[in-house]
Amino acid sequence: MSTILSIGSAVPEFLHRQEDILQFMYRIYGLNEDGKRKLQFLYRHSGIQSRYSVISDYTRPAAEWKFYSPSENLEPFPSLEQRMIWYNKYAAPLSVDAIRKCLAGKCRPEEITHLVTVSCTGMSAPGLDLQVVELMDLPKNIYRTSINFMGCYAAIHALKSADAICNSTPGAKVLIVCTELCTLHFQRDASTSNITSSLLFGDGSAAALIVSDSPANSSGRPAKGVRLGSFYSEILPKGKKDMAWELSSTGFQMTLSNYVPDLIEEDLSLLVERALKKSGLEQDAITHWCAHPGGKKILEAIYKSLHFTNGHLDASYAVLKEYGNMSSPTILFVLQRIMAGLDYRQRNKLFGVAFGPGLTMETFIAGT
Q: Chain-wide mean pLDDT for the chain?
A: 92
Same domain, 174 and 247: no
Number of domains in the chain: 2
CA dihedral 240, 355, 233, 285 (to 10 degrees): -140
Same domain, 121 and 240: no
Q: Which one, of 15, 48, 9, 52, lies nearest residue 321 by Cα? A: 48
Same domain, 182 and 43: yes
Q: Where among 211, 237, 264 does a domain terminate?
A: 211
Same domain, 254 and 282: yes
On whether residue 154 sits in a domain, the answer given is yes
On whether residue 218 sits in a domain, the answer given is no
CB atoms within 10 A of CB 328: 32
Predicted local distance difference test score (pLDDT) of residue 220: 44
Same domain, 233 and 325: yes
CB atoms within 10 A of CB 51: 29
Task: Please spell the DSSP secondary structure of 74-104, one letter per residue.
Answer: -PSPPPHHHHHHHHHHHHHHHHHHHHHHHHT
Task: Please spell the DSSP secondary structure of 215-266, one letter per residue.
Answer: -B-TTSSBPS-EEEEEEEEEE-GGGTTTEEEEEETTEEEEEE-TTHHHHHHH
On whether residue 219 sits in a domain, the answer given is no
Same domain, 191 and 252: no
**C-alpha distances out from residue 86 to 28, 142, 181, 182, Å:** 20, 27, 9, 11
Same domain, 231 and 181: no
Condensed to tens digits (0 to 9), the pLDDT of residues 208-218 reads: 999 987 554 33
The domain that holds 50 is classified in CATH as: 3.40.47.10
Predicted local distance difference test score (pLDDT) of residue 215: 52
The residue segments making up the domain with residue 348 are 226-367
Same domain, 192 and 296: no
Q: Where among 150, 185, 211 does a domain terminate?
A: 211
In the DSSP assignment, the letter for residue 132 is: H
Alpha-carbon Rg for the chain, nearest whole angstrom, is: 20
Report residues of the chain scoring pLDDT below 70: 214-223
On whether residue 156 sits in a domain, the answer given is yes
Cis upstream peptide for 76 (omega within 30°): yes
Task: Please spell the DSSP secondary structure of 9-77, one letter per residue.
Answer: EE--SEEEEHHHHHHHHHHHHT--HHHHHHHHHHHHTSS--EEEES--GGGS-GGG-SSS--STT-PSP
On whether residue 220 sits in a domain, the answer given is no
What lies within 8 Å, CB to CB, of 7 at 6+ separation is 102, 206, 207, 208, 209, 332, 335, 336, 339
On whether residue 216 sits in a domain, the answer given is no
Q: Where among 153, 177, 211 does a domain terminate?
A: 211
Predicted local distance difference test score (pLDDT) of residue 281: 96
Task: Please spell the DSSP secondary structure of 286-315, one letter per residue.
Answer: --EEEE----HHHHHHHHHHHT--SSTTHH
In angstroms, the CA 317 to CA 295 distance is 9
On whether residue 137 sits in a domain, the answer given is yes
Predicted local distance difference test score (pLDDT) of residue 208: 98
On whether residue 67 sits in a domain, the answer given is yes
Same domain, 323 and 261: yes
> Residue 164 — φ and ψ, nearest 5°?
-65, -40
Predicted local distance difference test score (pLDDT) of residue 209: 98
Same domain, 198 and 269: no
Predicted local distance difference test score (pLDDT) of residue 223: 63
Same domain, 26 and 165: yes
Condensed to tens digits (0 to 9), the pLDDT of residues 216-246 reads: 433 444 568 999 999 999 998 887 777 777 8
Same domain, 32 and 175: yes
**C-alpha distances out from residue 23 to 20, 46, 50, Å:** 5, 15, 14
Return the half-sphere exposure (C-beta side, CA atoms, 13 A cut-off) of residue 248: 16
